Amino acid sequence: MSIGGAFSIAKSGLADIGANFAVMSQNIANANTPGYAREVTTQTSIAADGGGVKAGPTTRQIDTQLESELFSENGTLSALQTRLTALQQIDAVQGTPGGGGDLASLIGQLQDSFANLQTGPSNQASQAEVVNAASALTSQINALSNSYTQGRQNAQDTIMADVGKLNSTLATIGSLSDRIVGLKAAGQGTADLENQRAQAMQSLSQVINVRFIEQPNGDMLAATTNGLSLPLHAATPPLATQPATIGAGSSYPSTIPAITLNGADVTSQLTGGEIGAAVTLRDTTLPTYQGELDEFAETLSNRFDQQGLTLFTNPDGTIPPSGGAPVQSGYVGYAASITVNPAVAANPSLVRDGTHAVAGAPAGASAFTPNPAGGPAGFSATITRVLDYALGANVQDGVPQPAPVTSGLGPNGNLSASYSAPADLQSFATAVVATESSDSAAARSQATTEQAVQTALQSKVSASGAVSIDSEMSNMVQLQNAYAANAKVISALQSVWTELLQMVP
């Protein structure tokens, strides 16, 4: 081997060692940085110029398949956590089933107050107790309805924020990809930028279920799991929506704005993640709860009214009309306004006397005449009708109550309850409470399971790209030894070269 060849090999070795030292310093400095994957240098042999070794571009040391699975799990868990947060806020308003403050318990307390009144119909304290129990029931119905509306508003606000987050994160991934493509084309390392891009991809995967496909040139493609392509290199923000104030009668796509991609409605295609869960809460889950509660409020009002006691009404003393198309069109949002009939609140003795006469019908309630002014103080016909029929499964002996509506709910008539039509008000209240409680418990259980899965995947991904300080220090010792060896070669060659020059006359 010539002196020039030996010098070239030693020189390239020192350059390669220097490049490795730089990468090693980067790894050690970011050993505890979340999402950082260990960077390594590639090496290629130099055939020309006497041979040697050349440090190539840096790359990330990461299991990309595991990373892809983690991104998918991020979307699943984020969706569950978003759903659970919303349902737990409703749990707090609804109270513990059977705990005394839930709908079913309050119906029971109303029934108990009527039973107590039956023992002494003229007792004014007992009459007031009935009105108070009825008021407690309507207050809880109002509170639940308001919690549903607030939950939908929170979901809408989350969607607004997430659309902005989607646009900015897509732009970040696109910008980093542009730089990566340029550096790869120039034969330069891209590991630092790839780590930054992976962090942005991690953020995006929490907002929406998304898949990433890296291209041979280093660019990245992104698409939802149902195939909607997400633009990474758009000149202007591609996704848009508008703010909205949500009410009980608000619905998508009628009065709630769509999420658009370059002007096209893609609301139904943005599934999973925080934004997908928020859309489901806003447009399906919470409106269904509202529809169920509105039906309960309407049924409660009508079952008392048909027995001759208009106890539950709007603040103006009216009961909203039933029927229509959609079926709840006349009483969407009634649960938010239902109250004790102002006339009864002003004159509690009406819970004994009744408010109006009932003509009677074979398929409806039997005939009833209210207690007239100055009538018997021990009049109990109204109380008996309430206990036997308004709160019972039959509208009169042998005639079942009209079944509550369980399908065609909501302002658009496109929602359905998850239970069969309950026969009596107690069962109806129990079904309303149990539905939300069951949904909340299921979300809690699923979130716990998926959290464990995500943690396991995160550990595996971190392990595949983890920086080991011990390993880096061991490599440093090897590099130091190699550096010393190459330096000695150069020093020896310098001595040889000096002697040769001295030999030349």
DSSP output for 142-193: HHHHHHHHHHHHHHHHHHHHHHHHHHHHHHHHHHHHHHHHHHHHTT---HHH
- Residue of 364, 289, 292, 303 whose CA lies nearest to 327: 292
**Radius of gyration (C-alpha) of the chain in whole angstroms:** 36
What CA–CA distance (Å, rounded) separates 216 from 411?
A: 50
Asked if 389 contacts 302 with a C-beta cutoff of 8 angstroms, the reply is no
Instruction: State how far the alpha carbon of 147 is from the alpha carbons of 101, 156, 160, 491, in Å.
Output: 15, 14, 20, 80
245, with CB counted inside 10 A (0-12, 13-18, 19+), is exposed
pLDDT value at residue 15: 52
Q: Which helix (H) or strand (E) holds 342?
A: helix 342-346
**Residue 231 pLDDT > 60:** yes
Q: How do residues 130-179 score in pLDDT, each as one tens digit?
A: 999 999 999 999 999 999 999 999 999 999 999 999 999 999 999 999 99
Q: Which helix (H) or strand (E) holds 207?
A: helix 191-207
The arithmetic mean of pLDDT across residues 74-100, rounded, is: 94
pLDDT value at residue 305: 98
Q: How confident is the model at residue 320 (pLDDT cuts 50, 70, 90)?
A: very high
Q: Tell me if the bond preceding 326 is cis, omega within 30° of 0.
A: yes
Q: How confident is the model at residue 240 (pLDDT cuts 50, 70, 90)?
A: very high
The arithmetic mean of pLDDT across residues 64-72, rounded, is: 90
pLDDT value at residue 476: 55
pLDDT value at residue 482: 53
Owner of token pair 């983690």: 70
The arithmetic mean of pLDDT across residues 12-17, rounded, is: 52
% of residues, the chain, pLDDT over 90: 73
> What does the DSSP 8-state code read for residue 200?
H
pLDDT value at residue 51: 53
pLDDT value at residue 473: 55
* Coil, strand or helix at 489: helix
Residue type present at position 426: Q
The arithmetic mean of pLDDT across residues 96-113, rounded, is: 93
The arithmetic mean of pLDDT across residues 315-322, rounded, is: 97
Partners of 58 in the β-ladder: 41
Cα 208 to the chain's mean position, in Å?
10
The arithmetic mean of pLDDT across residues 33-59, rounded, is: 58
Q: How confident is the model at residue 462 (pLDDT cuts 50, 70, 90)?
A: confident
pLDDT value at residue 59: 65
**Residue 26 pLDDT > 80:** no
pLDDT value at residue 383: 98
pLDDT value at residue 144: 98
> What does the DSSP 8-state code read for residue 390?
I
- Residue of 150, 121, 175 whose CA lies nearest to 370: 121
What pTM did the predictor assign?
A: 0.84
Cα 6 to the chain's mean position, in Å?
64
Mean pLDDT over the full length of the chain? 88
Q: How confident is the model at residue 91 (pLDDT cuts 50, 70, 90)?
A: very high
End-to-end CA, the chain: 25
What CA–CA distance (Å, rounded) separates 272 from 440?
A: 18
The two beta strands, 399-400 and 394-396, are antiparallel
Give me 378's structure tokens.
């021990």
Owner of token pair 């009483």: 331
Least confident of 34-48, 168-182, 259-273: 34-48
pLDDT value at residue 37: 63
What CA–CA distance (Å, rounded) separates 271 from 233?
A: 22
No. of helices (H) and no. of strands (E), the chain: 12, 13
Q: How do residues 409-457 score in pLDDT, each as one tens digit?
A: 999 999 999 999 999 999 999 999 999 999 999 999 999 999 999 999 8
The arithmetic mean of pLDDT across residues 398-410, rounded, is: 96
**Residue 45 pLDDT > 70:** no
Phi and psi of 429, rounded to 5°? Answer: -60, -40
pLDDT value at residue 2: 56
What CA–CA distance (Å, rounded) separates 186 from 86?
A: 50
Residues of the chain by 3-state class (helix, strand, coil), percent to 5? 55, 10, 35
- Residue of 324, 460, 459, 303 whose CA lies nearest to 386: 303
**Residue 246 pLDDT > 90:** yes
- Residue of 40, 53, 248, 28 whose CA lies nearest to 146: 248
Q: How confident is the model at residue 42 (pLDDT cuts 50, 70, 90)?
A: low
- Residue of 241, 244, 242, 255 whose CA lies nearest to 412: 255
pLDDT value at residue 460: 87
**Residue 285 pLDDT > 90:** yes
Q: How do residues 78-88 score in pLDDT, each as one tens digit?
A: 999 999 999 99
- Degrees to nearest 5, angle at CA 290 with 334 and 405: 80
What one-character-per-residue DSSP string does 409-439 give? ETTTT-EE-SSPPPSSHHHHHHHHHHHHHHH
Q: How confident is the model at residue 247 (pLDDT cuts 50, 70, 90)?
A: very high
- Residue of 365, 366, 290 whose CA lies nearest to 335: 290
Phi and psi of 211, rounded to 5°? Answer: -120, 145
422, with CB counted inside 10 A (0-12, 13-18, 19+), is buried
pLDDT value at residue 185: 92
pLDDT value at residue 62: 76
Phi and psi of 128, rounded to 5°? Answer: -65, -35
pLDDT value at residue 96: 84
